[in-house]
């Protein structure tokens, strides 16, 4: 973060300043436990805690000052306080002001699935030419996205900002700070349906990304998504994918099993023969959108091809990991919804040379689609001939397990906990086998099972 004064921060956040308006701030933190000398503290009020309770601790540990929605009873000498209506909004407004200090292309991403994968793919391509800032990990929410913007430095030449949501208005709220030059929507699906009435409501919430697109900006949409194709943005728009109506098209797709995919992306400017070492047809669709953005930002064909080939998945996102004895772990444990689980099962089905084992857990936030979503996953496991399904959680027991048995999956087992399923997997995981790990993250934490498998002393 470049240096700013407390007075600048106060003006950006629309607050009232108490203390030294000339104080210079070069870093900030929302975690009182990690405050370093000179940090600006942003206390966030959450469901289980309120950061205001830790202001004294943060400033006593060396923090230079803080935002606050209520002033502490005691103002520490030598510290600066900015009183605001809402600290989270103050952080967003500060990030928006800060973003305005930089003249560089900013790409904002949203969508039901594939946001982080697309972010990693696109930033890897852009890095072939530009010093590119990207959202770290999956910090794409009300705190993470502003903090990403506040990480911009003079040496950066482009930025890729991922934005997620779990409520209407959230993408609009973040867009006020991001103000993208390019807005990307990867797809629309039943993710977070629990918080929305329908997919059309999800579409409307995702489409908020277009409201703060800068003048002469570009919208990049998945052209294979039925709902996205109902949008008619009032800006230049490129639809990307396999469909005939796409301006950026995928052709000559070659699925190479667990080794990845080869394909050609065709645009009005040229043809791009791409190879990505991560399996899944979805990678080609995401690559088409990445090509559209990269062309817009002036990259050459050589840079685009080289950047796509260098793609490596983020942690716990469709990583094919080789374990001792020729065992394969398909680790896509970060999160899950019916569409993504079915896509992973199709990838698992490509494996030859041993058993195909699916260790799957409950999927959350599906609302009215919960029962059908779990049944569809179980049915597909049987139809694809997956040799073993290890299911975890009450939703899976009620819906996924019966559907898998009815569809002919030969070995279907249910477990109450992740660790019980992991122990069963270890017992059956023979040389040459492949195992898929996937479930909704915060409920199941299958990433911990993946860690266990990496450490396990397989013979």
Q: Based on the domain organization, do 297 and 345 belong to the same domain?
A: no
Q: Based on the domain organization, do 332 and 377 belong to the same domain?
A: yes
pLDDT of residue 442: 63
Q: Based on the domain organization, do 117 and 244 belong to the same domain?
A: yes
> Does some domain include residue 206?
yes
Q: What share of the chain is helix, strand, coil (3-state, %, to 5)?
A: 40, 20, 40
Which residue carries 């062309």 as its tokens? 295
Q: What is the mean pLDDT of residues 360-375?
A: 92
Q: What is the mean pLDDT of residues 1-16?
A: 97
Last residue of a domain, one of 266, 281, 309: 309
CATH number of the domain that 199 lies in?
A: 3.40.1190.10
> Does some domain include residue 425?
yes
Q: What is the mean pLDDT of residues 376-396?
A: 97
pLDDT of residue 443: 67
pLDDT at 212 over 90: yes
CB 223 within 8 A of CB 243: yes
Last residue of a domain, one of 252, 274, 309: 309
- Cα distances from 298 to residues 273, 304, 327, in angstroms, run 18, 10, 42
Which residue carries 């993710």 as its tokens? 191
Q: Based on the domain organization, do 277 and 334 belong to the same domain?
A: no
Q: Render pLDDT for 287-308 as a digit per residue (tens, 0 to 9).
A: 999 999 999 999 999 999 999 9
CATH number of the domain that 366 lies in?
A: 3.90.190.20
Residue (of 13, 160, 171) closest to 95 by Cα position: 13
Q: Based on the domain organization, do 137 and 61 belong to the same domain?
A: no
CB 231 within 8 A of CB 202: no
| Residue range(s) defining the domain that contains residue 401 | 319-455
Residue (of 230, 179, 175) closest to 208 by Cα position: 175
pLDDT at 316 over 90: no
pLDDT at 191 over 80: no
Q: Based on the domain organization, do 282 and 301 belong to the same domain?
A: yes
pLDDT at 218 over 80: yes
Q: Render pLDDT for 268-290 as a digit per residue (tens, 0 to 9).
A: 999 999 999 999 999 999 999 99
CATH number of the domain that 57 lies in?
A: 3.40.1390.10
Cα dihedral sign, 306-312-318-324: positive
- Cα distances from 226 to residues 139, 206, 240, in angstroms, run 28, 14, 12
Judge if pTM exceeds 0.85. Answer: yes
> Does some domain include residue 324?
yes
Q: What is the mean pLDDT of residues 371-378?
A: 97
Proportion of the chain above pLDDT 90, given as a percent: 90
> Does some domain include residue 139?
yes
> Does some domain include residue 91?
no
DSSP string, 3-61: -EEHHHHHHHHT-EEES-TT-EE--EES-GGG--TTPEE---B-SS-BGGGGHHHHHHT
How does residue 195 score in pLDDT terms, banded at 50, 70 and 90? confident
How does residue 459 score in pLDDT terms, banded at 50, 70 and 90? confident
Q: Is 455 exposed, middle or buried (0-12, 13-18, 19+ CB in 10 A)?
A: exposed
Q: Based on the domain organization, do 273 and 392 belong to the same domain?
A: no
Q: Based on the domain organization, do 302 and 196 belong to the same domain?
A: yes
Q: What is the mean pLDDT of residues 115-122?
A: 96
Q: Based on the domain organization, do 211 and 157 belong to the same domain?
A: yes
Cα-to-chain-centroid distance, residue 68: 29
pLDDT at 48 over 90: no
> Does some domain include residue 257?
yes
> Does some domain include residue 125?
yes
Last residue of a domain, one of 40, 60, 86: 86
Long-range CB contacts (< 8 A, 24+ apart) of 271-277?
Answer: 272/301, 272/304, 272/305, 272/308, 273/305, 274/304, 274/305, 274/308, 274/309, 275/308, 275/309, 276/121, 276/308, 276/309, 276/311, 277/309, 277/311
- Cα distances from 155 to residues 99, 103, 243, in angstroms, run 14, 11, 39
Q: Based on the domain organization, do 326 and 439 belong to the same domain?
A: yes
Annotate 163-199 with b (16+ C-beta within 10 A) or e (fewer).
Answer: bbbeebebbbbbbebbbbbbbbbbbbbbbbbebbeeb
Q: Based on the domain organization, do 268 and 400 belong to the same domain?
A: no
> Does some domain include residue 269?
yes
Q: Based on the domain organization, do 162 and 219 belong to the same domain?
A: yes
Number of domains into which the chain is organized: 3
Lowest mean pLDDT among 43-57, 224-238, 404-418: 43-57
Proportion of the chain above pLDDT 70, given as a percent: 100
């Amino acid at each position: 973060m470049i240096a700013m004064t407390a007075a600048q921060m106060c003006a950006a956040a629309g607050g009232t300043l108490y203390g030294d308006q000339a104080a210079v701030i070069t870093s900030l933190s929302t975690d009182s436990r990690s405050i370093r000398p000179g940090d600006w503290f942003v206390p966030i009020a959450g469901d289980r805690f309120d950061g205001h309770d830790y202001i004294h601790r943060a400033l006593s540990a060396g923090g230079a000052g803080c935002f606050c929605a209520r002033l502490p009873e005691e103002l520490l000498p030598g510290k600066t306080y900015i009183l605001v209506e809402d600290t989270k909004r103050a952080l967003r407004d500060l990030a928006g002001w800060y973003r305005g200090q930089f003249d560089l292309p900013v790409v904002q991403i949203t969508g039901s699935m594939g946001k982080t994968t697309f972010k990693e793919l696109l930033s890897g391509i852009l890095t072939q030419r530009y010093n590119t800032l990207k959202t770290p990990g999956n910090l794409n929410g009300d705190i993470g996205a502003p903090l990403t913007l506040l990480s911009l430095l003079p040496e950066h030449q482009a930025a890729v900002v991922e934005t997620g949501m779990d409520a209407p208005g959230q993408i609009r709220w973040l867009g006020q700070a991001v103000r993208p030059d390019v807005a990307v929507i990867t797809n629309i699906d039943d993710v977070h349906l629990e918080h929305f009435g329908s997919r059309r409501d999800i579409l409307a919430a995702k489409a908020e990304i277009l409201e703060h697109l800068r003048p002469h900006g570009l919208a990049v949409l998945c052209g294979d998504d039925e709902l996205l194709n109902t949008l008619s943005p009032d800006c230049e728009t490129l639809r990307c994918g396999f469909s005939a109506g796409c301006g950026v098209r995928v052709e000559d797709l070659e699925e190479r099993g667990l080794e990845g995919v080869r394909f050609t992306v065709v645009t009005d400017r040229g043809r791009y023969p791409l190879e990505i070492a991560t399996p899944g047809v979805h990678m080609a669709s995401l690559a088409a959108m990445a090509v559209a953005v990269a062309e817009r930002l002036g990259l050459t064909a050589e840079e685009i091809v080289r950047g796509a080939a260098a793609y490596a998945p983020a942690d716990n996102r469709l990583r094919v990991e080789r374990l001792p004895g020729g065992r394969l772990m398909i680790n896509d444990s970060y999160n899950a919804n019916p569409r993504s689980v079915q896509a992973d099962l199709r990838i698992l089905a490509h494996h030859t040379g041993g058993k195909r084992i699916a260790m799957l857990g409950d999927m959350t936030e599906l609302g009215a689609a919960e029962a059908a979503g779990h049944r569809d996953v179980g049915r597909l496991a049987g139809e694809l001939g997956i040799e073993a399904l290890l299911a975890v959680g009450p939703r899976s027991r009620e819906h996924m397990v019966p559907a898998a048995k009815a569809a002919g999956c030969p070995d279907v087992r249910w477990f109450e906990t992740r660790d019980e399923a992991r122990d069963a997997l270890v017992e059956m995981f023979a040389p040459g086998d492949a195992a898929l790990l996937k479930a909704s993250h915060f409920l199941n934490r299958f990433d911990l099972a993946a860690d266990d498998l990496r450490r396990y002393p397989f013979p």
